[in-house]
Amino acid sequence: MLRRSARAAGTVLAAAGLALAGLQAVPATPVQAADARAGTTAATGSAAEALGAAEARPELLRALERDLGLTRPQALRRLANEAEAGATAARVRQGLGDAFAGAWVDGPESATLTVATTRSADLPVIRAAGARGRLVTHGLTALERAKEALDQGATVDTPVRFVDVRANRLVVEEARPGAAARLLAAAGVPQGLVDVVRTAEAPRPLYDIRGGDAYYMGGGRCSVGFPVTRGTTQGFATAGHCGRAGTTTTGFNQVAQGSFQASVFPGNDMAWVAAGANWTATPYVKGAGGGNVQVTGSVLQPVGASVCRSGSTTGWHCGTIQQHDTSVTYQEGTVSGVTRTTVCAEPGDSGGSYISGSQAQGVTSGGSGNCSSGGTTFFQPLNPILRNYGLTLKTTGSDPGPGPGPGPGEPEPGGTWKAGTVYAAGATVTYGGASYRCLQGHQAQAGWEPPNVPALWQRV
């Protein structure tokens, strides 16, 4: 079975990207996170600075120390290095095309980046970007297509399937002997691509407007994911299995709160709740001890990055991201596109917030184990929820007020880039007369214009 390792330092960056044509070398050296009391500083214009990695709240740092065994300076350095590694890896994938086979970083604090490729000719270029290169057999696209074929026929006897990028293999967990072999045969997937892992645990939805606070639906309880707005309507994103469209909710204080506006489960595990006029969305997640952890954006962090979860049953717990784009088959059906983590959770934590540094990651879907013995959990990434329902994540930068604007006689920048839009990696926009390619998926916001955040946009 797959075992939980709270101190696992390896990071798989299966969804990162960068054009190698005209690539400038960017050494993958540690970046110092800004915190005067920890004695560290952030590089001006760095990805860590742009994504707020240097502004981690004390509650977050204490949780990383408890769950990942890090000191405060180590936690700050790790958050900064993870932000830099994600940006660097994002710039590397584009030029590799179908030869790209994933990437990962090693080290509890540093971010020594490795990029895998199926072409030996790519290795010098990868090294020039400041990363280590590894030659492997299978491209990531080929492994992902094989997983998609398996997803079509998966049952609860083969509950979890994912691409292990470091091993360059497709992994299938089976609850009954022979279940994986039957699935492979039915899908026509060669056994040589797959590692079969026995498991005795069955993932399940964790049944039972600050992120992590409780809300109630009749006799059930779930947790708020992330506060959002849609026009003038306040609300929050959460898990689809917690309720259907029309289901009414009451808040943590048992006061009438709102109702589900849309919900998908299975397939995905996403929903959003519109709250009444007496509820106000805040840019916070409930942290350790009940303190507020600020949310500044929604940049999905790489596999291996630290991530913390807030839920109404077990509170605040941290771990690491294991794999993105995982498929899980619950009793109710298959959910695809979720992220697998080492963070523990229990019933009632469903729908709650996953956050990495100050970047919103997703909402709790399900998992196995508990917070006494440990376990594996899955979260539905947040950006697809924002995009599908036209929601705007509430962040500490959501209401920037009037800026300086253009000077006398200067035109507005213009272009297709627009705050509030959810951009996927590879999307292209224009801004100020130039074209840019998105490197890491995120919801755009004021202050994150393409020229200002090279961690998110590359000029083309």
Tens-place pLDDT, residues 268-285: 999 999 999 889 999 999
Q: What is the mean pLDDT of residues 174-182?
A: 95
Is the pLDDT at 16 greater than 60? The verdict is no
pLDDT for residue 364 = 98
Residue 45 binned pLDDT confidence (cut-offs 50, 70, 90): low
Polymer length in residues for the chain: 460
Residue 207 binned pLDDT confidence (cut-offs 50, 70, 90): low
Is the pLDDT at 428 greater than 80? The verdict is yes
Q: What is the mean pLDDT of residues 50-75?
A: 86
Distance from C-alpha of 13 to C-alpha of 4, rounded to nearest angstrom = 19
Lowest mean pLDDT among 21-30, 180-189, 256-265, 363-372: 21-30
DSSP 365-425: EEEEEETTTEEEEEEEEHHHHHHHHT-EE--TTS---------TTPPP--BS--TT-EEPT
- The percent of residues in the chain predicted with pLDDT above 90, rounded, is 66
DSSP 175-241: SSTTHHHHHHHHHT--GGGEEEEE-----EE-----BT-EEEETTEEEE--EEEEETTEEEEEE-GG
Backbone angles phi, psi at 144, to 5 degrees: -65, -35
pLDDT digits (tens, 9 = 90+) for 91-141: 889 889 899 999 887 877 777 888 899 999 999 998 988 888 999 999 999
For residue 151, the tally of other CB atoms under 10 A from its CB is 18
Q: What is the mean pLDDT of residues 373-379?
A: 93
Residue with tokens 């590879």: 426
Q: What is the mean pLDDT of residues 450-457?
A: 94
Question: Cβ(437)–Cβ(426) under 8 Å?
Answer: yes
Residue with tokens 């000029």: 459
For residue 52, the tally of other CB atoms under 10 A from its CB is 21
Residue 244 binned pLDDT confidence (cut-offs 50, 70, 90): very high
Is the pLDDT at 28 greater than 50? The verdict is no
Residue 192 binned pLDDT confidence (cut-offs 50, 70, 90): very high
Q: Is 290 helix (H, G, I), strand (E, B) or coil?
A: helix
Q: What is the mean pLDDT of residues 416-439?
A: 95
Residue with tokens 């299978």: 138
Pairing of strands 434-438, 422-423: unpaired
Cα 169 off chain centre by: 22
Residue 42 binned pLDDT confidence (cut-offs 50, 70, 90): very low
Find the helix or strand (DSSP H, E) in which 78 lies. Answer: helix 72-96
**Quick one: DSSP state of residue 310?**
E
Distance from C-alpha of 439 to C-alpha of 95, rounded to nearest angstrom = 12
Cα 112 off chain centre by: 20
* Residues forming the active site: 241, 269, 350
Pairing of strands 248-250, 428-431: unpaired
Q: What is the mean pLDDT of residues 302-330?
A: 95
- 400 vs 154: which has the higher pLDDT: 154
pLDDT for residue 7 = 31
What's the whole-number average pLDDT of the chain? Answer: 85
Find the helix or strand (DSSP H, E) in which 91 lies. Answer: helix 72-96
> Of 314, 85, 336, which is closest to residue 206 (Cα–Cα)?
314
pTM beyond 0.85, yes or no? no
CA distances from 430 to 48, 62, 90 (A): 24, 41, 19
Q: What is the mean pLDDT of residues 415-429?
A: 95
Is the pLDDT at 347 greater than 50? The verdict is yes
- 400 vs 447: which has the higher pLDDT: 447
Distance from C-alpha of 406 to C-alpha of 410, rounded to nearest angstrom = 5
The phi-psi region of residue 325 (left if phi > 0; otherwise alpha if psi is between -120 and 50; otherwise beta) is left
Is the pLDDT at 46 greater than 70? The verdict is yes
Question: Cβ(85)–Cβ(14) under 8 Å?
Answer: no
Q: How many helices (H) and strands (E) does the chain have?
A: 7, 29
Distance from C-alpha of 9 to C-alpha of 12, rounded to nearest angstrom = 10
pLDDT for residue 26 = 37
**Quick one: DSSP state of residue 158?**
S
Find the helix or strand (DSSP H, E) in which 150 lies. Answer: helix 140-153
pLDDT for residue 319 = 96
pLDDT for residue 18 = 30
pLDDT digits (tens, 9 = 90+) for 286-303: 998 888 999 999 999 998
